Amino acid sequence: MKFNEPAGQNPIDNGKVVGRATDRIDGPLKTTGRAPYAYERHDVAPNQVYGYILGAGIAKGRIASMDASEARRAPGVLKVVLATEHPPLKTGPMNTARLFGGAEVEHYHQAIGIVVAETFEQARAAAALVRTTYDRAPGKFDLAAEAEGAEFVPGDGPDKAPVKRVGDFAKAYADAPVKIDVAFTTADESHAMMEPHATIAAWNGNKLTVWTANQMIAWAKRELARTLEIPPANVRVDSPFIGGGFGGKLFLRADVVLAAIGAKAAGRPVKVALTRPMMANNTTHRPATIQRLRLAATQDGKLTAIAHNSTSGNLKGGDPETAIAQTKLFYAAPNRETFMKLAVLDLPEGNAMRAPGEAPGLMALEVAMDEMAEKLGMDPVEFRIINDTQVDPENPEKKYSDRNFVQCLRTGAEKFGWSRRNAQPGQVRDGRWLVGMGMAGGFRNNMLMKSAARVKLDGGRVTVETDMTDIGTGTYTIIAQTAAEMMGLAIDQVRVVLGDSDFPASAGSGGQWGAANSTAGVYAACVKLREAVATKLGLDPATASFTDGRVIAGNRSVALSDAGALTAEDGIEYGDIGKRVVQSTFAGHFVEVGVDAYTGEIRVRRMLAACDAGRILNPKSARSQVIGGMTMAVGAALMEELAIDKRFGFFVNHDLAGYEVPVHADIPHQEVIFLDTLDPYSTPMKAKGVGELGICGVGAAVANAVYNATGVRVRDYPITLDKLIDKLPAVA
Domain boundary among 558, 579, 600: 579
Residue 142 lies in a domain: no
> Do 107 and 236 have their domain in common?
yes
Rounded to 10 degrees, the C-alpha dihedral 74/79/82/85 comes to 120
**pLDDT score for 588:** 98
pLDDT, mean over the chain:
97
Rounded CA-CA distance 598/594 in Å is: 12
What are the backbone dihedrals phi and psi of residue 518, each rounded to the nearest 5 degrees, phi first? -70, -40
| Residues contacting 634, CB < 8 A, separation 6+ | 604, 607, 662, 666, 667, 698, 699, 702
Task: Check whether 21 has a pLDDT greater than 80.
Answer: yes
Neighbouring-strand partners of residue 238: 211, 500
Residue 145 lies in a domain: no
Rounded CA-CA distance 649/664 in Å is: 32
Tens of pLDDT, residues 150-170:
999 999 888 999 999 999 999
> Do 599 and 714 have their domain in common?
yes
Report how many domains make up the chain.
3
Rounded CA-CA distance 312/317 in Å is: 13
To the nearest 10 degrees (0 to 180), the angle between helices 475-487 and 514-536 is 30
CB distance 281 to 55 below 8 Å: yes
Smallest CA-to-CA distance from 471 within 196, 642, 246 is with 246
From the centroid of its chain, how far is CA 713? 28
> Do 466 and 573 have their domain in common?
yes
Residue 643 lies in a domain: yes
Tens of pLDDT, residues 513-538:
999 999 999 999 999 999 999 999 99
**pLDDT score for 731:** 82
What's the whole-model pTM score? 0.98
Tens of pLDDT, residues 367-413:
999 999 999 999 999 999 999 999 999 999 999 999 999 999 999 99
Count the Cβ atoms, other than its own, within 10 Å of residue 536.
15
> Do 545 and 694 have their domain in common?
no
What confidence tier does 732 reach under pLDDT thresholds 50, 70, 90?
low
Domain boundary among 562, 579, 596: 579
**pLDDT score for 150:** 98
Mean pLDDT of 92-115: 96
Smallest CA-to-CA distance from 328 within 307, 353, 310 is with 307
What amino acid occupies position 85?
E
Residue 551 lies in a domain: yes
Its sign, for the CA torsion 674, 677, 681, 684, is positive
Strand, helix or coil for residue 10: coil
Tens of pLDDT, residues 552-561:
999 999 999 9
> Do 418 and 295 have their domain in common?
yes
Rounded CA-CA distance 452/454 in Å is: 7
Mean pLDDT of 356-368: 98
> Do 129 and 235 have their domain in common?
yes
* Catalytically active residues, by annotation: 692
> Do 407 and 551 have their domain in common?
no
Residue 89 lies in a domain: yes
Proportion of the chain above pLDDT 90, given as a percent: 98
Rounded CA-CA distance 662/653 in Å is: 15
Residue 191 lies in a domain: no
> Do 461 and 594 have their domain in common?
no
Which helix H or strand E contains 221, and what residues bound it? helix 217-228
What amino acid occupies position 731?
V
CB distance 44 to 211 below 8 Å: yes
CA-atom Rg of the chain in angstroms: 27
**pLDDT score for 647:** 96
**pLDDT score for 495:** 98
Q: Quick one: 276 exposed, middle or buried, by C-beta within 10 A (0-12, 13-18, 19+)?
A: middle
Residue range of the domain that includes 214: 47-137+197-242+249-279
From the centroid of its chain, how far is CA 540? 43
Task: Check whether 75 has a pLDDT greater than 70.
Answer: yes
**pLDDT score for 93:** 87
Strand, helix or coil for residue 126: helix
Q: Output DSSP code: residue 163.
A: S
> Do 620 and 554 have their domain in common?
no
Neighbouring-strand partners of residue 437: 592
Rounded CA-CA distance 473/670 in Å is: 18
Domain boundary among 579, 599, 628: 579
Smallest CA-to-CA distance from 108 within 646, 643, 648 is with 648
Tens of pLDDT, residues 23-50:
999 999 999 999 999 999 999 999 999 9
> Do 110 and 255 have their domain in common?
yes
Residue 183 lies in a domain: no
Task: Check whether 676 has a pLDDT greater than 90.
Answer: no
Q: What string of DSSP letters covers 62-120?
A: EEEEEE-HHHHTSTTEEEEEEGGGSPPPP--TT--S--S-SSEE-STT-EEEEEEESSH
What confidence tier does 633 reach under pLDDT thresholds 50, 70, 90?
very high
**pLDDT score for 428:** 97
**56: Cα within 13 Å, side-chain hemisphere:** 36
> Do 559 and 687 have their domain in common?
no
> Do 439 and 452 have their domain in common?
no
Rounded CA-CA distance 725/658 in Å is: 22
Tens of pLDDT, residues 236-294:
999 999 999 999 999 999 999 999 999 999 999 999 999 999 999 999 999 999 999 99
What confidence tier does 339 reach under pLDDT thresholds 50, 70, 90?
very high
Strands 303-314 and 335-344: parallel
Residue 519 lies in a domain: yes
Smallest CA-to-CA distance from 438 within 384, 359, 358 is with 384
Rounded CA-CA distance 318/351 in Å is: 8
Task: Check whether 473 has a pLDDT greater than 80.
Answer: yes
Which runs of consecutive H residues, i.e. helices, occur in 274-417? 276-282, 358-376, 380-386, 405-416
Which helix H or strand E contains 341, and what residues bound it? strand 335-344
What amino acid occupies position 200?
I
Strands 644-645 and 433-445: unpaired
**64: Cα within 13 Å, side-chain hemisphere:** 9
What confidence tier does 459 reach under pLDDT thresholds 50, 70, 90?
very high
CATH of the domain at 421: 3.30.365.10
